[in-house]
Structure 1
Amino acid sequence: MNKTHTLPLILAMIFLALAIWAGITPADRAVWWAETIPLFIVFTALVLTYRSFRFSNTAYVLMSMWLFLHMIGAKYTFADVPFDWGNRILSPLLGEGRNHFDRFAHYIIGFYAYPMAEWLLRKRKCTFGTALWFALFFIMSVAAAYEIIEWQYAVIEGGDAGIEFLGSQGDIWDAQKDILADTLGAITSLILFVFIRPDKRIL
């Protein structure tokens, strides 16, 4: 096998292994389905489009981080993921007596700005600056849309499943803070993009 294809294959195998693990007696089956459906859609799209457009290995790693973390969140529900070590690091910075795994996962979602900018530039859809701005606004739009979906699911489903999927943990500003975390993740990944410039590399 060509070594350039090895890393994406390993990442795919890790995701599938995590999916099997997470699907065995999750904390809440309804929450598991609600959280994993978007993961399976994104994973399937990446697999189906692999031959027609292969992202850089860095992009696949960044995209896989969200798939992995979100699958773990689906297993336990985000409020109950064992994340003591992360909370010890983040609590002094963010305050709030809560589990910060959800906030960290939202930050990682922002990393999808990197492959978006890469796709735009390698397809020559726009200029470099426009690609960065579009990728940032793309993540902000997706983040806002997802918060609306969470809200509607919580209203329709109700009960414990709705509360767990919403994951606000009693914070009335949870949606706004999640969007900020997504945005900061996007900015971080785009700074990385500027230094790596995968659009100028031969894949």
Structure 2
Amino acid sequence: MRERAGKWLGKEQMFASNRPLHVMIIVYLVIWIWMAVSPYSRFDWVLENLLIWAALIVLVGTYKRFWISNLSYGLIGLFLVLHTVGAHYSYNENVVDVWMKLLFHSQRDNFDRLVHFSFGLLLAYPIREVMSACTTLSRRWLSVITCVIVLAMGAFYELIEMWVALLVAPEIGILFLGTQGDPWDTHHDMELALYGSIIAMCVTAFMQRIKQREAGCR
């Protein structure tokens, strides 16, 4: 516990010398500024960016409190990049959608589905890392609870989308929600986030076993 507390106390000093994190921040800022130019719908872009701004506030506000690795920051940053690109196009057709339509022989714009899947795939490990630092759960339960948290966050985000569409911009509700006429769209979004988190936890468990075997061989 003292060792972890020492890491927390020294985190401010470590940030100054954390070059990989500096590079991540600069790259993301460049992408964000690029995607802020001439979006598909400026009003929808602002609404979509509320998630980004909220996430950045949480990351900055909890930086000293939670000890997470650069790998986790990289995964979070990658997810924010995907969402930033989606916000620019209001999750309408882009290059990725064209490619996915050809791949899956579908007329639906599937980039939003890709982002929901990435939510679970990319954010599960950072969530697990925070849970590992703040709880005494076993590895198995860490993985289970992480998947539950991802599912709960996915469901809560769908509620936020509904509230924002109803209260702030009912006139662009369909565009903001992006259901594209699919009555099961919300369920599929949560489903994909859950599948992504399960895959992430399976990969994490596999990598941990490899490390244990390597440590045992030494």
**TM-score category of the 2 structures, normalised to the smaller one:** 0.7 to 0.9
Match of 2:92 among 39, 60, 79: 79
Residue 125 of structure 1 aligns to a residue in which SS?
A: coil
Q: Does the 8 Å CA contact 1:65/1:108 hold for their aligned counterparts?
A: no
> Are 1:158 and 2:170 matched, yes or no?
yes
**What is aligned with 1:103?**
113
Q: Where do 4+ consecutive residues of structure 1 move more than 4 Å? A: 1-4
* 1:64 maps to amino acid: G
* 1:32 maps to amino acid: W
Superimposed CA distance per residue, residues 91-128 of structure 1 (whole angstroms, 9 cap, x where no aligned partner): 25xxx421110100000111211111111223343221
Structure 1 gaps, min length 5: none
Superimposed CA distance per residue, residues 74-105 of structure 1 (whole angstroms, 9 cap, x where no aligned partner): 1111023332223333x25xxx4211101000
> Are 1:43 and 2:56 matched, yes or no?
yes
In structure 1, C-alpha distance between the alignment counterparts of 2:67 and 2:25, rounded to whole Å: 14
> Are 1:13 and 2:23 matched, yes or no?
no
> Are 1:142 and 2:156 matched, yes or no?
no
**What is aligned with 1:53?**
66
- Identity value in percent: 28
Q: Give the superposed CA RMSD.
A: 2.3
Q: Does the 8 Å CA contact 1:26/1:75 hold for their aligned counterparts?
A: yes
* Bigger relative contact order (CA 8 A; separation at least 6): 1
Structure 2 gaps, min length 5: 1-13, 212-218
Match of 1:88 among 78, 102, 110: 102
In structure 2, C-alpha distance between the alignment counterparts of 1:47 and 1:3, rounded to whole Å: 14
Residue 69 of structure 1, CA deviation: 0.5
In structure 1, C-alpha distance between the alignment counterparts of 2:70 and 2:101, rounded to whole Å: 30
* 2:25 maps to amino acid: A
Residue 185 of structure 1, CA deviation: 1.0
Residue 178 of structure 1, CA deviation: 0.4
- Greater Rg over alpha carbons, structure: 2
Residue 3 of structure 1, CA deviation: 11
In structure 1, C-alpha distance between the alignment counterparts of 2:145 and 2:152, rounded to whole Å: 10
**What is aligned with 2:143?**
132
**TM-score, normalized by length of structure 1?**
0.85
